[in-house]
Structure 1
Amino acid sequence: MSFFHSRVLAISRSVSLTIASSLLLVDLAVILFGVFMRYLAGGAPIWTDELARFLIIGSVLLGAGAVWVEGGHMRVALIERLLPGQLCRLLNLYQWLLTLIIAVGAAIFSYRYAMSVSMFTSQGLGISRTIPMLSVPIGFALLAWHALWHGPAPLKTLTEDPA
C-alpha cells in the first residue's frame, strides 16, 4: 500500500472513529439523563429512548469501516492461516470484493429506504425518519470507502497472548 493510500486511510479511520466515539458519548449522556429523569425526577421525556437508540445505531455504523480495516471485527481467520500463500491471496481478494459489493449494495438500498420514509416522523423526537435513517447508508458507504482504500490486502488479525 502506498504512502498516499495509507495516509488517506489513517485520516479517514481517525475521523470515522472520532465521530462514532462522539455519538457514543452523547448517547451515554442521553441515557444518563433519561435514567436521572425517570428515577430521580419522576418521569423521563419520551424522546430519550428514541434518541439513544438512533445514536447507538449511528455510532456503530459510522465506526464499522474503521474497525473492519483494523481487523477489530469478529471473524475467524483460521482458513487464512492454513492456506498456502497463493490461495490465501485469492481468499483475501474474495473477501475484499464481497465486502465491497455488500457495502455498496447496502448503501444504495438503505439510502433509497431512508428517502422513502421522509414523509413519516419519529414518534418521540417528531423529526423526519429520514434524518436518523441516513446513518445506515452513510455507515455502509464509509465501510465501502475504507475497504476500497484498504484494497485486497490481508486484514489484521487480533491474536491472543498466552498467559
Structure 2
Amino acid sequence: MNRSLMPPSFLPDRIAFYALKFLTRLCDTMGVLLLASTLLIIVSAVVVRDVLGLSMPWTEEIASLLIIYAVGFGSISAWVRGEHLLVDLFSHRMSSLAKGLQYRLVALISCSFFSLAAWGAWIMSYMSAHNKTVSLSISFTWLYYGILLGFVGMAILALWQTLRGPVEWQSIKGSGGDDN
C-alpha cells in the first residue's frame, strides 16, 4: 500500500481522517440515493403520462426537494475532497509558511461565507414556514433546510480547516474516502 494513502499516526489526525472518510462516504451514498430517487420519480411520471395518460403533478415538487438535498450532501462531500472550484494563480510561488497562511485565510473566509449563507437559509426557512407547495402542501421550510444542511456542513469543515491548517493526508487526492 502506498505510504501517502496510509492514515496519519497522530491520534487526533487519525480520528479526523476516519471521520472525514466516513462523512464523505455517507454524503456520497445519500447523494446517489437521492439522485437515483429523483430519476426514478421523473421517469415514472413520464411513463405514467405517456402510457396511461395520467398526470402526476406532485413529482416536480418531490424532485425539487430531492435535488436540493442531493446538492447539500454533495457539496459537503466535495468540500472534504477539495473538489470545489478553485482559482490558483500564485500559490506555486509561495513559501510553505505563506501557503499555510493562505490556506487558513481562505478557509476562514469560506467559513464566514458559509455561515452567512446558512444563516440566510435559516431565516428563509423561518420566513417561508407558512408557504406551501401546490400539489402536496409541503412547507417551503423543508426546501431551505436542504440548503441549510449543505452550508452548515461546509462551514463546520471550513472552521476545522482554519483551526487545524493544512494537513498532508488531506491534500492527497482521494483521501476523503474513495480509495479505502
TM-score category (smaller protein): 0.7 to 0.9
**Which residue number in structure 2 is paired with residue 105 of structure 1?**
116
**Which residue number in structure 2 is paired with residue 53 of structure 1?**
64
**Which residue number in structure 2 is paired with residue 6 of structure 1?**
17
CA RMSD of aligned residues (A): 2.1
**Which residue number in structure 2 is paired with residue 161 of structure 1?**
none
C-alpha distance after superposition, 1:4-58 (max 9, x if no partner): 2222222222222222221111111111112212322224311112211221121
- Partner AA of 1:23 in structure 2: L
- Normalising by structure 1, report the TM-score: 0.84
Counterpart-to-counterpart distance in 2, 1:36 and 1:146? 42
Give 1:89-104 correspondences, 5 Å limit: 89-104=100-115
**Which residue number in structure 1 is paired with residue 4 of structure 2?**
none
* 2:121 is the counterpart of 1:88: no
User: Which range moved further: 140-149 or 111-120?
Assistant: 140-149
**Which residue number in structure 1 is paired with residue 5 of structure 2?**
none
Q: Pick from 132, 139, 146 the counterpart of residue 128 of structure 1.
A: 139
Counterpart-to-counterpart distance in 2, 1:146 and 1:23? 22
Asked if the contact 2:108/2:159 (under 8 Å) is kept, the reply is no
Note the residue ranges of structure 2 that are not aligned, 5 or more in a row. Answer: 1-11, 174-180
Q: Cα offset for 1:110?
A: 0.7
Q: Pick from 53, 58, 78 the counterpart of residue 67 of structure 1.
A: 78
Counterpart-to-counterpart distance in 2, 1:36 and 1:76? 43
Distance 1:66 1:147, change over 3 A: farther
Counterpart-to-counterpart distance in 2, 1:96 and 1:15? 23
Counterpart-to-counterpart distance in 2, 1:152 and 1:52? 38
- Normalising by structure 2, report the TM-score: 0.77
Distance 1:82 1:32, change over 3 A: farther
How many residue pairs get aligned? The number is 158
Note the residue ranges of structure 1 that are not aligned, 5 or more in a row. Answer: 159-163
